[in-house]
Amino acid sequence: MSLLNELFAGQSTIDFRPRWRISLRVAFALITISLLLLLTRGLNLSIDFQGGGVWEVPVGDDVTVADARAAIPAVDDARIQLVGTSSGNQIRLQAGTEALDQSEDIVSQMAELGGVDRDAVGVSEIGPTWGDQITGQALRALAFFFVVVALYLAWRLEWRMAIGALAAVVHDLLITAGVYSLFGFEVSPATVIALLTILGYSLYDTVVVFDKVLDNERSIIGERLAIDELVSQSMNQVLMRSINTTITTVLPVLSMLLIGGVLLGGAGIRDFALALFIGLLLGTYSSIFVAAPILVWLKQRQPDVRRSAELEERRRSREKAASNGADSDELDDADEETSKPAITRLDDDARLLSPGGGPPRPRKKGRRR
């Protein structure tokens, strides 16, 4: 079977363990670079965060940025851009808070430039302290979010998984921010929304992956495999799922990026979609290549005492049962598993024995119709 076929059937046997060593190093390096970039270059924050104004007016095809600059003497240090949209060109002027006093002049001059009514000029004015406020709020929301999600995941999954999941999210957010810093893309409120969305997707993906690990851990297969093998196998099982969920989420985003952003020139949409696009790819990658190895690492460093005891207990009772020749269902299955060599089969059996699926009895296959 080719790898694609294997993937399709959920039966790939990629050993992730050596790859994890690399991916963790890469993640560490990228995060370091991103942090350095953020500290040195910083982010190109839009006026929404700094205070100031943006004025936009539709103009004819022959209007250039130089024309606009000449026509709008009101502000000296304004940034003036020509933006193409589906319904023609637009002049976009952006200036700091000092320009706010002259807003009326600017609107008049721009209306004149475009030969339109004053009402056709789009205006955004943001007071100087407002940006700090919304940034503060967003950060506070984020902090709360991390705490609540950590508690929730620790409750529904386990605390090591919560740490792994959040580490992956931080990884995604920092690197996305790093990309913005590196290329000097403007960070607008739309970007912030995008970052928050990334955070959601990244977690969704990681939850799916970890839920599988948990499933396997509780099943019979979890008893025999070392934790790193077990997680690696779980990754194989969820790989296609992750790829598919990513494709279905990236498709609408790609459509926004290409159609909404480039063809139709919606600046807000483009900002948003770009951040999303980078983040979504990172989110899928990080579930498997960051969250998972961190989970493994945590588990190796600090084994789950309760689980080891449980496993030990089950092992002992099985041995005892085997020596007694007892024939309880569970033990039967277990014995059968042990005799099977193929890893793929083990996976399947793991599935069979997962709590949700209930243990079908392989040897009754013939009767099950």
Binding residues for another protein restricted to 157-186, rule: CB under 8 A: 157
Nearest to 180 by CA among 170, 168, 194: 194
Q: Shortest distance, CB of residue 247 to another protein, whole angstroms?
A: 6
Q: Shortest distance, CB of residue 224 to another protein, whole angstroms?
A: 18
Range 42-71, binding another protein (CB under 8 A): 48, 56, 58
Task: Determine if 337 is a binding residue for another protein (CB under 8 A).
Answer: no
Task: List beta partners, residue 90.
Answer: 58, 83
Mark the segment that binds another protein (CB under 8 A) among 13-21, 127-135, 227-235, 324-332.
127-135
**What's the rounded Cα separation, in Å, for the pair 64 and 66?**
5
**What's the rounded Cα separation, in Å, for the pair 207 and 195?**
18
Q: Cβ(319)–Cβ(43) under 8 Å?
A: no
Find the DSSP H helices in 46-96: 47-50, 65-71
**What's the rounded Cα separation, in Å, for the pair 108 and 121?**
9
Q: Shortest distance, CB of residue 200 to another protein, whole angstroms?
A: 5
Options 43, 269, 281, 321; binder of another protein; rule CB under 8 A = 269
Task: Determine if 355 is a binding residue for another protein (CB under 8 A).
Answer: yes
Residue for token digits 């024309």? 67
Task: Determine if 367 is a binding residue for another protein (CB under 8 A).
Answer: no
Q: Cβ(61)–Cβ(91) under 8 Å?
A: no
Task: Determine if 252 is a binding residue for another protein (CB under 8 A).
Answer: yes
Q: Cβ(350)–Cβ(357) under 8 Å?
A: no
Residue type, 45: L
Q: Shortest distance, CB of residue 36 to another protein, whole angstroms?
A: 28
Q: Which residues contact 359 (CB under 8 A, 6 or more apart)?
A: 329, 330, 333, 352, 353
Range 76-115, binding another protein (CB under 8 A): 85-87, 90, 104
Task: Determine if 241 is a binding residue for another protein (CB under 8 A).
Answer: yes
Options 12, 23, 94, 237; binder of another protein; rule CB under 8 A = 237
Task: Determine if 222 is a binding residue for another protein (CB under 8 A).
Answer: no
Q: Shortest distance, CB of residue 21 to another protein, whole angstroms?
A: 28
Is 125 or 229 the residue whose CB approaches another protein more closely? 125
Mark the segment that binds another protein (CB under 8 A) among 60-68, 137-145, 175-183, 309-317.
137-145
Q: Which residues contact 105 (CB under 8 A, 6 or more apart)?
A: 74
Is 252 or 303 the residue whose CB approaches another protein more closely? 252
The H or E element containing residue 303 is none
Options 164, 178, 222, 266; binder of another protein; rule CB under 8 A = 266
Options 28, 152, 309, 363; binder of another protein; rule CB under 8 A = 152
Task: Determine if 156 is a binding residue for another protein (CB under 8 A).
Answer: yes
The H or E element containing residue 53 is strand 52-59
The H or E element containing residue 170 is helix 159-183
Q: Shortest distance, CB of residue 356 to another protein, whole angstroms?
A: 3
Options 13, 32, 44, 133; binder of another protein; rule CB under 8 A = 133
| The pair of three-digit structure tokens given for residue 283, joined into one six-digit string | 């989110």
